[in-house]
Structures are given as C-alpha cells and as structure tokens.
Structure 1
C-alpha cells in the first residue's frame, strides 16, 4: 500500500491529461476498524495563485512575441519552432523576411535563457509536486528584471533603437522567454509551458471532444490561450499608439504573474515529507 502523498510517475500518469505536466499522487483512506482503505490517485493541478501566474505569463509571452515580430526583425522571442521555420526560409533566399541573422539571434538567446535556468530549478525529492520550488520564483523574478531593463532601454531609445542595439534587445527578450520556459518547466506538474502553446490547444480540443467522463472543460488552459492572444493584441496596440511604451506591456504582464507566483504555496521546510518512489519521469 502506498503512503499518502506518494508520487506515482510514469507513462500512465502522463496520458491521463489531468493538467499541465500531470502527475498522479496516491492517497489512502482508512476503512472502518482502522484498516487502510482503497488507495486512490489524484492528479496534481496548479492551485489558484499558480493558475493566475500561468495565465499572466502567457499574456507576457504573447506581448513579447508580437513586439519581436513587428519591431525586432519579424521573428519570435519565445516560439522557437516558428523561428526554425523562418531560419529554413531564410536559408533558401526565397522569402522576404531577410537573412538568417534574426532567427539565429532569437534561437541563441532563448537557448541561453533555458541553459542558465534549467540546472537551478530541478525539484528536490523532498519538495511536493503541488508546490513551486523557491528557485522557480527566484528565476521568474530575474526574468522580470531583464524585461524591466529592456523596457527602460527601449523607452530611452524612443522605441526605435538603431543597430546593433536592436539585435541586443532581441537577444535580451529571447533570453527572458527562455528563462520563463525553463522556470515554469521546473515547476513540474503544478506548472506548464511558458511560451509554447500548441500542446495546450491540443489538450483543450482533446478534452472537449472526449466521450463520457473524459469530456470536460479545461478552463485554465483555455484562459491561457485567451491571455496569449490578449497579450499580443495589447502589445501591438500600444506599439502602434506609442512605441516607446510598448515594452512596458510584457513587463506589466510578467510583474503581475510574479506577484501571483509569490503567493503560491511554498514547501514547508519544517515538516517532513513522505519519501517518493516510482518516479520514472
């Protein structure tokens, strides 16, 4: 019999689709007479504050990507599959989007952001899946600092920095998105993707067309897609109205998200946790 709070990993839990990065946590009840009841498994889902952070970070991602596309070389800061396509197009010489420099800069910045953060946000065995590790929130705070620096520099340049500073801004926002993605991936089952949402859209549709008990509304994931779109819309509108203020849009989204992340539950270091077994992830 598994102990309460014991994590059940593996392919089966991933296929259940209970939420971002689903992990099943086994719990056991007590039967009449003090014996153990039937062990049940409950999917780990983000809490309210965590969902708020995930939704707001999606808005930040949308705002950064639209500004990168319309102002930084028609590439993306967070959607690396799109940049790979643009890189492939640029190598053929048949497109109108310029050479490979901008896609390569965005790809390089994103990779640096992920590589810097990933080693520091790995979950410790004693940290429960329902909580975001402290390192995750710290690195999300660093992302906000990077976006704040970009916002100040962008405004000082009147919203139209000359080269090579335009490329510096592109690399900086790509680094920020890489940091966001790596940090939210480190949040585990209570986190989710930070910049790429094709899988989120797939999950929403799969659940919507499910049969019987499998059909259910995935309002949290749907809200993230709406926030992604809203962030892009607001970013584009502000850029059109007042370019020097445009980079403040993703900064505000990310700052609000960080505030929610700071309110999310933290592991209690004073209380022991049950040992985990069966982790195959």
Structure 2
C-alpha cells in the first residue's frame, strides 16, 4: 500500500497577501507625496490627479508653483508607467508573486537612490529635479503594476473613487458596501503616511522619509505573495 504524497505547496501562497502589501504601499505614497509637495516645491510625484491641477495653477502663474517641476514629474511618471506596462507584458501572465516582487525591487532601488541623493546633496536645484524624477518614475512603474493586478479599491495613490465608494455604497447610500473595511483601511493608510511624512520633512528633511519609503518597499519585495 503506497502512502499518498503530501500536497505540494503553491509558491504563490507563500508570503504576505497583496491586499496587505498594497495597503503598506499606500502609506509609502503618503510619505512620498509629503516629501514632494512640502519639500520639492508644491509638486506631487505619486498623485497625478493633483499634479495635473497643480500644473494648471503653475501655467496660470499662481505663486509658489512651477511648470518645469510639475512637467518633470508628469513626464517621469508616464515613463515609469510605460516601463511598468512593459514589465506587465513580460511577466503579467506568469507568477504574480515574481511580478510583484520584481516591481517592488525596482521601486526600492529608485526610492533608495532618491534618499541617497537627498542625503548627499541637500538643498540644490539639481537635487530637487533628481528627487522629482526618481520618485515619479518609481510611482509610475508601481501604478502600472497595481492597475494590471486589478485588486479592487487599492490603487495605492488616489482615493477619489475609494471615498466615492465608501459614501455611495454605505448604509446611507445603496447599502452594498461589502468592501468598506478595505476602503477605510486605504484612506487611513494614506492619511497616516502623509502625516508621518509631513512630520519627518518638517523636522528632519527629505532624506529620512525617503529612506523609510525605500525600506518599506524593500521589505515588501521580499515578503509579497501572489495571492490577493
């Protein structure tokens, strides 16, 4: 009589669920937008909805806004999204775990490089452009990946539709909000990241929040699974 062999563990199941990974990445987005908006001249590098509005302000000559800074952020974000699309085309039909970890590793390197620049050459015009370019490219790469992963209500960078869903599908709306805990967690994650990022920028400069962002992305690159 043969003994049945134990079931083979699915590699995709090993590690932290993608829902948790994306919530932590939402915290990272708050950190990075705090750095960019408060420390790089009122420009967003994670939230492109806000950035398009900021570009309109800058183009109209509103004080405190810069067309070159905002245009650099938009251009580098789009380049990052193109790169993310290429990565998705190559790896998106295979292991989600490998795909997510590869993208997170790239984000870690880009944001880590921005932290190194912030520490090595603080308060120079070249540093400002370098930080905008590196973080915007990283966020474009990540957003393209998150979009292709298609996990509902966890875009990691924008909350407009998340907040709309929370309100419209609440018991005061159509009472169908079965994903309300996830949406609420996403809003709180962004708020926490922005608050922490602002506190760090105002008291310690740009390098530390960028370093924390890189470390968080790096940890996720090691522990992410392929399961939702």
TM-score by length of 2: 0.82
- CA gap of 1:226–1:192, structure 2 versus 1, over 3 A, is closer
Unaligned ranges ≥5, structure 1: 1-46, 267-281
Residue 5 of structure 2 corresponds to residue 66 of structure 1:
no
Correspondence list, 1:55-204, <5 A? 55-93=23-61, 95-122=62-89, 123-124=92-93, 132=96, 134-157=98-121, 160-189=122-151, 192-204=154-166
Q: CA deviation at 1:254?
A: 2.3
Structure 1 residues 70 and 241: alpha-carbon distance in aligned structure 2, compared to 1, 3 A threshold: same
Report the Cα offset of residue 139 of structure 1: 1.5
CA separation of 1:83/1:258 partners in 2, compared to 1, >3 Å: closer, same or farther?
A: same
Equivalences, count = 210
The alpha-carbon distance between structure 1 residues 215 and 112, as it changes in their structure 2 partners (threshold 3 A), is closer
Coordinate RMSD, CA, aligned: 2.4
Runs of 4+ in 1 over 4 A off after TM superposition: none
Determine helix, strand or coil for the equivalent of 2:17.
helix
Deviations 1:105-134 (A, max 9, x none): 11011001001111221432xx5xxx7363
Cα distance in 2 between the residues matched to 1:88 and 1:211? 36
| TM-score, scaled to structure 1 | 0.68
Higher relative contact order (CA 8 A, sep 6+): 2
Greater helix proportion: 2
Determine whether 1:223 maps to 2:185: yes
Query: What is the aligned partner in structure 2 of residue 249 from structure 1?
Result: 212
**Which consecutive residues of structure 2, in runs of 5 or more, have no partner in the other structure?**
1-14
Asked if structure 2 preserves the Cα contact closer than 8 Å seen for 1:53 and 1:258, the reply is no
Deviations 1:225-244 (A, max 9, x none): 11111111111111222214
Q: Compared with structure 1, are the counterparts of its residues 201 and 145 closer, same or farther at alpha carbon in structure 2 (3 Å cutoff)?
A: same
Between Structure 1 and Structure 2, whose CA radius of gyration is higher? Answer: 1
Cα 1:140/1:48, change in 2 over 3 Å: closer
Q: Which has the higher strand share?
A: 1
